[in-house]
Amino acid sequence: MKEDAVYRRLLGYLKPYWKQLVIAYFSMLFATLLNLFVPQIIKDAIDNGLAAGDPRALFVAGGIILGIAVVRGAAGFGQLYFGEWLTHRVSYDLRNHFYNSVQALPFSFHDRTLTGDLMSRATSDITETERFVGIGLMGLISTTLLLVGVIIAMLLESVQLSLLGLIPIPLLVVATIRFGNTVRPMFKLIQEQMGVLSSTMQESMTGINVVKAFAREPHELAKFDQENNEWFDRRYGLIKVWADNWPLFTFLVAASIFLLLWFGGPVALEGEITVGSLFALISYVLMLGGPVQRLGFLVNLAATAGASAKRVFDIIDTPSEIEEQEDAVWLDRVDGSVTFQKVDFGYREDLEILSNISFHAEPGQTIALIGPTGSGKSTVTNLIPRFYDPTAGQILVDGVEIRSVQVQSLRKQIGIVLQDPFLFSQTVAENIAYGRPNASMDEIIAAATAARAHGFITEMPEGYDTRVGERGVTLSGGQKQRVAIARALLTDPRILILDDSTSSVDTETEHLIQEALAVLMEGRTTFVIAQRLLTLKSADMILVLDNGRIVQRGTHNELLAAGGLYREIYDLQLKDQEAFVALEAEMGNRQ
């Protein structure tokens, strides 16, 4: 996106608030015009008061200046109040727009994007943008108007002296523009590095348990220091550019005053102009001192805002790979049949993950997926709720192609329980009701009871109102999984996707989880990434995947008899489970 387009788009966020915009800019314009009258009043006080020996003229001038100060204070209030209001209102809208866009982007975007970088854009970049779009832009326009007004006022006093005094001003404008063009790309690099720095910090904080377990704190500190040093080096480069230019701005203003005194002093002594006029000319140049020095800051601010806004708009403009058709229909409650027809998928064009996947699951059936790591099991289940779209082929639910229905309605039919479920830092009840926030407490308790979670929840300090901490850190793995099962039960999905692995829990917890899963799976079409023999034995169909293809399908007994990859997996991983189950049963009979 071109720089001018970035600024036009950013200013477009002001359009809905045109009333506040008019008040703010009218106040700014009025305050600027009042400033231009002050040197004229001082001129009259010198010429008609001091020079003529009339004290009354001095009192009148003082009263007028005092009145102007009062009126300018009121105008300044309007400028500051509505300017700040616009600043933070635009920031509010832009942050909402950004967050909504991030929420709408597909899994593939989040797969390749660092969370810390997104956080940096949502906070640091939008903060830099908001500083410019309200007060910053108003200050830039005010300074520009003041510059133009001062030049006109000076020319009205004395064309010859004004032209001499204004000789440094074009140099000042050129230096300011050059300064802006220099710092703009530097600010872009600084903001990008801030994204890298945020990502490094976020990743380290998220994986703090692993960092401490392997005593890698020194490595993480060194990595953070390296990125932080890079950020400082880029910022330091900007500081040097700013320091090199700032004295030049001040010098050019001082040069204007020198020229006025050098050439204007003799003229005033000779009586060709009044002392008041000379003082007015000097006052006008001095009036430019502060704003012109701020001009460098404001150009700097505009450059930062442009670079930051571009980073924000880059995310907002990222096309969604999961497009919803204009005539997409709402999918009402389904029976739960799922059909894959010659489905291919790859995360990139040159990386095929699935090839020619075809199968049909009847409503209520359990489909187990098994295969080596990287064979495509999780990818198959991720295609059903349209986390990704296939690159070829079709997926149908109850005979309806899922790309022809509204995504939200499709996902309402599907429940997902992962091996490591994610819980929000809210209460247990809020986590269970996440998919149905309007559920009653009785319904939440019923779901938790069916998920074998009610017992441990009631033993917690505040029961269902207990907050579980970030990512559910205060719960054990088995407890988190049962809360996730309760969450899925409460939404009553017709299609269920779950990871059957319970290797990280003890035998008693595993038994409770299996009981909860049995309740959850009852009457639902279930896709299981199978790790346990019990799941495979009870499945209506087992799909054996290898290198993204279905190499075998059938029931447990059929596949054992057929040999091949399933038999190899069974002998290597599952036979011991069967022996253990048989031994457990034998010991139970003896007791």
pLDDT in tens, 126-147: 887 887 887 888 888 888 888 8
pLDDT at 521: 77
For the cut 60, the answer to whether the pLDDT of residue 98 exceeds it is: yes
Question: 446 CB contacts (<8 Å, ≥6 apart)?
Answer: none
The structure's pTM equals 0.67
Phi, psi dihedral angles at 441 (to 5 degrees): -65, -35
pLDDT in tens, 539-583: 899 999 998 899 989 988 888 888 888 888 888 766 666 655 555
pLDDT at 576: 64
Mean pLDDT on 36-64: 77
Question: 569 CB contacts (<8 Å, ≥6 apart)?
Answer: 370, 371, 372, 544
pLDDT in tens, 274-285: 888 888 888 888
3-state SS, residue 207: coil
Compare 590 and 206 and report the one with higher pLDDT: 206
**Lowest-pLDDT range of 160-169, 287-296, 391-400, 464-473:** 287-296
The Cα 118–Cα 110 span in angstroms is: 10
Mean pLDDT on 382-406: 89
Question: 414 CB contacts (<8 Å, ≥6 apart)?
Answer: 384, 385, 493, 494, 495, 496, 497
CA distances from 268 to 121, 242, 260, 265 (A): 58, 38, 11, 5
The Cα 383–Cα 343 span in angstroms is: 10
Mean pLDDT on 329-341: 88
Within 10 angstroms of residue 220's Cβ, the number of other Cβ atoms is 18
Q: Residue 341's pLDDT band (boundaries 50, 70, 90)?
A: very high
CA distances from 492 to 178, 256, 321, 413, 513 (A): 63, 78, 28, 8, 18
The whole-chain average pLDDT of the chain stands at 81
Quick one: residue 472, left, alpha or beta (phi over 0 = left, psi -120 to 50 = alpha)? left
Mean pLDDT on 100-109: 75
Residue ranges of the alpha helices (H) in 451-574? 454-458, 477-491, 507-521, 533-538, 556-562, 565-569
pLDDT in tens, 244-284: 887 887 788 788 888 888 888 887 777 777 888 888 888 88
| Whether 515 contacts 495, CB under 8 Å | no
pLDDT at 396: 92
